[in-house]
Structure 1
Amino acid sequence: MAIVYLIIIGAAAGFIATRLMKLETDLVTTIAIGIAGALIGGFVLRALIAVMGWAAGFVGAVLGAMLLIWLWETYGPKRK
């Protein structure tokens, strides 16, 4: 069940993060960014999740996805 939760929250977080960062991506990339961001945010904000519940997990997922987008744009392949 945790995997399904991760995919759903990750997809939503990826959608929001790509819109906040003004990044145009396809659906699969958006979901992948969100899931990776959910993993990153979940690990970093684990203590916050224990205190504030699922809302903190969602915030962490969005922040993690935004961090991943920033890293991709900064260090990823350069487009012409």
Structure 2
Amino acid sequence: MGIVWLIIVGAAAGFLATRFMDMETNVITTVAIGIGGALMGGLLLGLLKGLLGMAAGFVGALLGAVLLIWIWQTYFS
């Protein structure tokens, strides 16, 4: 169940992050960005996730995905 949840949250966070950062990507890239962001956000906001539950996990995934897009746009494109 954890992997499925990570994919669902990652897809949603990746979609929102690519829209916030005005980046056009395909579905697989969007999901990959979201999952990468979820992993980064989970590491960065691990304490909040324990305190606030799933809402903090989604916020962390979204912030992580936005950070990942910013890094990609700054250093790789």
TM range (shorter): over 0.9
Q: Which residue of 2 aligns with 1:35?
A: 35
Structure 1 runs not aligned, ≥5 long: none
**Post-superposition offset of 1:71:** 0.3
**Post-superposition offset of 1:43:** 1.0
Q: If the length of structure 1 is used for normalisation, what is the TM-score? A: 0.94
Q: If the length of structure 2 is used for normalisation, what is the TM-score? A: 0.97
Q: Which residue of 1 aligns with 2:53?
A: 53
Structure 2 runs not aligned, ≥5 long: none
Q: Distance in 2 between matches of 1:49 and 1:36?
A: 17
Q: Distance in 1 between matches of 2:17 and 2:56?
A: 15
Q: Which residue of 1 aligns with 2:15?
A: 15
Q: Which residue of 2 aligns with 1:70?
A: 70
- The count of corresponding residues between Structure 1 and Structure 2 is 77
Runs (4+) of structure 1 exceeding 3 A deviation are: none
Instruction: Work out which of the two has the higher radius of gyration on C-alpha atoms and give 1 or 2.
Output: 1
State the superposition RMSD in angstroms: 0.6
- Opposite residue 31 of structure 2, the aligned amino acid is I
- Opposite residue 26 of structure 1, the aligned amino acid is N
Question: Percent identical across equivalent pairs?
Answer: 64
